[in-house]
Structure 1
Amino acid sequence: MESNIVIRPCTTLDEFTQCIELQKAVWGDSDRELVPQHIFVVAVKTGGQVFGAYDGDRLVGYLLAMVGVKEKRVFIHSHMTGVHPEYQNYGIGKRLKLAQRDDAIARGIDLIEWTFDPLKLRNAYFNIVRLGAIIRTYLPNVYGQTSSHLDRGMPTDRFVAEWWITSPRVQNILAGQPYAPSANCQRVYVPAQEQTIDGQSELRQRFQTLFAQGSAVTWLEVQSGGIEYLLEPWAN
């Protein structure tokens, strides 16, 4: 299936409407929480990115990103990346991210950021192990309560993934060379079963403490019944 998928920019109102319909299928958001069409228009017109994954004429995945500025550095904030449930596990999400990376590099941008739920372990594996992102920021309940079935009524705590797209670390990981964390790295175990609010609160406190001490999540290991986030000192 993957060989039939074409990744290309989305630029028309009809294509943006398809993205909104796909948003419903992927996240299950209520109409009031859907990202509206005009945001896609503004993103494209102000230097952001909208990429679509197409199986023939059918949109099966998309990526929406905006341009940001932080401490005089221009970066890309990747707001949404989603693939239709029928097309997941075929590498489409990674192809969308690589298209995003290629476009950013061509424009002289070296950092792409996005948020993700620390409790979504498959997503964490994709972001850290397959793409090479690091994490050193934990945002509590950043979006408030949502209608998405993925959040299950929990506080929307999020990691901020930093993808330094021209760094040797990322280049090596994308080339298939696993990262080797230091032997004395710190580990935080997260079980695969659904977490309670109390469990989420404990993890929030643990990560915020470690990040305040200058550590970053640099790798992830799959363990029996869950994963371990691996953290090391990160100076730059």
Structure 2
Amino acid sequence: MSALVTGVGTGDGGGLDVRELRDVGEFEDAVRLFDAIWRPDPGNRPITVELMRALSHAGNYVAGAYQGGRLAGASVAFLAAPIGRALHSHVTGALPGRGAGLALKLHQRAWALERGLDRVTWTYDPLVRRNAHFNLAKLGAHAEEYLPSFYGAMDDAINAGDESDRLLAVWHLSEPRVLAAARGEPYVPEVPADAVTGLAVLEGLPSPVPAGAWAGARTVLVAVPEDVEALRRADPDAARAWRHAVREVLGGLLAEGALVTGFDRRAGYVVERPGPLERLGS
């Protein structure tokens, strides 16, 4: 499957040719691209040529986005539970400013729908603001589960020195908000007037609000740092404080049955808590 995608933010207005990758040379190009993005230790790459070859041959999703004949992004996903309904996207990397990330996700969605699948899942770092906006607003996905230290220690240049907490994103491919996002209409969550802040920003640091102050609130807002990747380099202790604060507040809310309804650029995660009857299962 190949698609020429235009109008998705390519820096020079050119189209992106998105297609499945099938030969070893293409997989090697993808590994080089991922190395340039994550700069991992040679023994700690997000995926290898051999694994991409095996996944592709077994009928899974391995694709690349080309601009001007050069690889600008790549994505690898495999069929997952529930069997016959889901695809799990393991890694997607794209060069900035070309629209390749969005083009790959739209191609991945079409690929999944052609095979009768109704959802795509992936994980992402809840502290990375641009990824939260891309996943929940630009794609219309849901964040459905908080996964502490999901990958264990990671030694690449982006994640080194931090714990690998992740949110599980679930993309329900035919949901109205996803259909709108695919048309270029990002999902903007409603922030009720009575929403309360559970985690705020104070001089660049996390400032948790005591749980008793929002115990009865239906909607809770959870802030994230402006640029956690820069913060990891400049002030690792501050980045670590953000990790633990978001784990405690956002992870705690999801553990009690709350739902992330979206991501607001100013307020952060918009989280709706279940009412008393919902907690009882009524």
TM-score, shorter chain, exceeding 0.5: yes
Aligned to 1:94: 102
**1:217 maps to which of 244, 260, 276:** 260
**1:80 maps to which of 78, 91, 114:** 91
Gaps of 5+ in 2: 1-11, 196-218, 232-237
Q: Post-superposition shift, 1:57? A: 3.1
Q: Post-superposition shift, 1:2? A: 4.6
Q: Post-superposition shift, 1:144? A: 1.6
Paired with 2:40 and 2:181, the residues of 1 have a C-alpha distance of 33
Aligned to 1:13: 24
**2:124 maps to which of 116, 124, 139:** 116
Which amino acid is 2:101 matched to? Answer: G
Tell me, what secondary structure is at the counterpart of 1:3?
Answer: coil
**1:206 maps to which of 226, 229, 249:** 249
Q: Post-superposition shift, 1:3? A: 2.1
Quick check: 1:64 aligned with 2:76? yes
Paired with 2:121 and 2:264, the residues of 1 have a C-alpha distance of 22
Tell me, what secondary structure is at the counterpart of 2:88?
Answer: strand
Aligned to 1:140: 148
Does the CA contact (< 8 Å) of 1:2 and 1:92 recur in 2? no
Shift in alpha-carbon separation, 1:119–1:182, aligned structure 2, 3 A:
closer
Which structure 2 residues correspond to residues 6-45 of structure 1 after superposition, within 5 A? 6-34=17-45, 35-45=47-57
Which stretches of structure 1, 4 residues or longer, exceed 6 Å deviation after superposition? none
Paired with 1:60 and 1:196, the residues of 2 have a C-alpha distance of 30
**1:188 maps to which of 216, 222, 225:** 222
Tell me, what secondary structure is at the counterpart of 1:6?
Answer: strand
Task: State the structure with more CA Rg.
Answer: 2
Q: Post-superposition shift, 1:108? A: 0.6
Paired with 1:215 and 1:197, the residues of 2 have a C-alpha distance of 24
Tell me, what secondary structure is at the counterpart of 1:24?
Answer: helix
Q: Post-superposition shift, 1:169? A: 2.1
Paired with 2:81 and 2:62, the residues of 1 have a C-alpha distance of 19
Shift in alpha-carbon separation, 1:50–1:2, aligned structure 2, 3 A:
farther
Q: How many residues align?
A: 228
Which amino acid is 1:161 matched to? Answer: A
Tell me, what secondary structure is at the counterpart of 1:171?
Answer: helix
| Superposition CA RMSD, Å | 1.9
Shift in alpha-carbon separation, 1:214–1:182, aligned structure 2, 3 A:
farther
Tell me, what secondary structure is at the counterpart of 1:191?
Answer: coil
Q: Post-superposition shift, 1:30? A: 1.1
Q: Post-superposition shift, 1:202? A: 1.8
C-alpha offsets along residues 2-46 of structure 1, whole Å, 9 cap, x if unaligned? 524211111111100111111110111111012111210121122
Tell me, what secondary structure is at the counterpart of 1:196?
Answer: helix
Does the CA contact (< 8 Å) of 1:134 and 1:162 recur in 2? yes
Paired with 1:106 and 1:140, the residues of 2 have a C-alpha distance of 33
Which amino acid is 1:200 matched to? Answer: R
Shift in alpha-carbon separation, 1:208–1:11, aligned structure 2, 3 A:
same
Gaps of 5+ in 1: none
Tell me, what secondary structure is at the counterpart of 2:33?
Answer: helix
Identity %: 30
**2:58 maps to which of 32, 36, 46:** 46
TM value normalised by structure 1: 0.89
Tell me, what secondary structure is at the counterpart of 2:106?
Answer: helix
Aligned to 1:161: 169
Does the CA contact (< 8 Å) of 1:52 and 1:62 recur in 2? yes
Which amino acid is 2:150 matched to? Answer: V
Shift in alpha-carbon separation, 1:213–1:2, aligned structure 2, 3 A:
farther
Shift in alpha-carbon separation, 1:73–1:139, aligned structure 2, 3 A:
farther
Paired with 2:118 and 2:88, the residues of 1 have a C-alpha distance of 12
**1:150 maps to which of 158, 172, 176:** 158
